Amino acid sequence: MNILIYTQWQNYLGYTVGGAETSLRMLAEKLAEHGHNVHFLTELKEGRRYKKREETINGVSVHFVNLPDLPTKGIGLLLKVRSAYIEYKFAKTAEEIIRDHAIDLVHTYHEVPGMYRFLQLKERKNLNYATVLRNGGKFWVKQLRENPDLRDAYRYVFNSVDSVNFNTPGMETLFDEACSELRFDVDLEHRFVQDIGLNLENDGHDWQLPEQRESFKMIMASRFSTHQKRQRLLVEAVAKLPKEMEWELYLVGEGPTKKSIRQLVVDKGLENKIRFHEFLEQEKLWGLMKSCHLYVHACDFEGLSKIIIEAMGMGVPVLASDVVPLRDYINDGDTGFLVENNATSWKDKIFALAQRPEKLTAVSIPAKTYVEDHFRADKNVKVYLEYFKKILAGQ
């Protein structure tokens, strides 16, 4: 198969990216290992001029394109010209890759403008390739609520793609619920539930319960976002812990709400207990996670959280919000712990686990086993290959 994967951002050049970009890169490289011709189109931010280059990285032909970074201010006509020129250069680059390499299937995310561009290109140029859209979050819902004018574009995308790839069963449920809530008429051609998972190459980072004399250490590594993540709730929860309890919390990541969370920590007088870090390199992050008693993840919803399954794969006990789709892979008291999304419940659960460390040890091995069984990339890539073959056969 000749496959093209597109993400706007990527970590081939060391950029900090989310789970979707990480998953699609992993998928690309595993497909290449199986002998398929895999191309990866991604964007750069290197000045105002259009340029492109190609590199082979881990068997994948990576096409870097720097779209024109034209002024964003001006009268309406100039902005329309700017937008049209950028779309033209993107479409021209994508078409060249698709034609030169006889692409059979395009797999991407970020429904608009990502997949929209490829569907439009396919229609305009009468090209013949299948389209698969990854859905692992509710960004599209946020977009529609903020800008109802996007309804037609999103409806076109969801009703035109050959298949939507949900990364968990719970994510599929959230999609259907959102469509109903928004009164959004969508009839998907094909659905598929799967995630590529992880390499599980964290040798030397197997978790063991820290010494009892140490303070109770927790860590959350996630973007400080305006939606979905709930670091604020976590700070409010630990602020309620008994004064006599010794604890530490590491908050790792960047994002627009980090400044306000820092201020909340100051307001609560917790500067000596809560430590902030920028995104860490993989080895450093794993080392920090390994030293903690508990990985904590407060959120409104979550798809397949890479950091959670990485923690589980290392045997680090996980305490997360009791929300869809986290229930798909965290079974409370078995592979981890779930808690209601309010500060008091979070405080009570953390305190109870600190008092009963044997409960932490009890979930460690089952969590590792679950991740090994369900999220090993070498196994899951074979599922994707069968899935792609069915899509290309029109099944």
> Could you report the per-residue pLDDT of 58-83, keeping only the tens digit for each?
999 999 999 877 665 556 677 777 78
| Residue 27: predicted pLDDT | 97
Pick the CATH number of 216-374 from 3.40.50.2000, 3.40.47.10, 3.40.640.10, 2.60.120.260: 3.40.50.2000
| Residue 350: predicted pLDDT | 98
Whole-structure pTM value: 0.89
Q: Do domains 2-197+377-392 and 216-374 have the same CATH topology?
A: yes
| Residue 138: predicted pLDDT | 86
C-alpha closest to that of 151 among 119, 175, 183, 114: 183
C-alpha closest to that of 178 among 228, 234, 138: 138
What is the domain class of 2-197+377-392 according to CATH?
Answer: alpha beta
**Domain locations in the chain?**
2-197+377-392, 216-374
Check if the beta carbon of residue 227 is closer than 8 Å to that of residue 196. Answer: no
Residue 248: burial class (beta carbons within 10 Å; 0-12, 13-18, 19+): middle
Query: What amino acid is encoded at 236 in this protein?
Result: E
| Residue 202: predicted pLDDT | 62
For 366: left if phi > 0, alpha if psi spans -120 to 50, otherwise beta; the answer is: alpha
Alpha carbons within 13 angstroms on the beta-carbon side of residue 362 total 10
The list of the chain residues with pLDDT below 70 reads 70-76, 202-204, 395
| Residue 67: predicted pLDDT | 84
| Residue 395: predicted pLDDT | 59
| Residue 71: predicted pLDDT | 60
